[in-house]
Amino acid sequence: MKNVKAYRTIGEISELFKIQPHILRFWEKSFNQIKPIKRKGGRRLYSEEDIKIIRTIKKLINEEGYTVKGVKKYLSKNKLDKIKNDGVIKISEDLDIKLNQINEYLIKARNVLK
């Protein structure tokens, strides 16, 4: 199982947000808040912080109708901590409890199969 804090590739981010990789590369150039690590050959690895910022940008553009210029203005006016907080997935306490129960069940099942 992949660690939640692990870095993710551009392909994984593209699939997660249903955004083409070229859009992510464009956003990376347009918004200096997105700072993936670049490995040999230019392979990009996005941190959890990058993912939160990308989620915020996607929401602003696709749901709230911001232009790229408008998002730049928004990002420049707001503190990075607020922007990252906006990009956090918010789930209810009930859902969090259920997800933890499912996770515990899967761990037990994996241990039985070993």
pLDDT in tens, 45-61: 999 889 989 999 999 99
Amino acid symbol at 106: L
22: domain CATH number is 1.10.1660.10
Please report the pLDDT score of residue 92 as a whole number.
67
The answer as to whether 95 is a domain residue is no
pLDDT at position 97 is: 78
Does residue 83 belong to any structural domain of this protein? yes
**114/112 Cα distance (integer angstroms):** 6
pLDDT at 17: 92
The reported pLDDT for the residue numbered 1 is 46
Q: Which residue, 50, 47, 48, 74, is CA-closest to 60?
A: 74
Closest by alpha carbon to 11, among 45, 39, 41? 45
User: Does residue 19 lie within any of the structural domains?
Assistant: yes
Ranges under pLDDT 70 in the chain: 1-5, 80-93
Please indicate, yes or no, if residue 28 is contained in any of the structural domains: yes
Domain range for 24? 8-88
CA atoms of 17 and 47, how far apart (whole Å): 15
> What is the SS3 assignment for 55?
helix
Question: Looking at the 3D structure of the chain, how many domains does it have?
Answer: 1
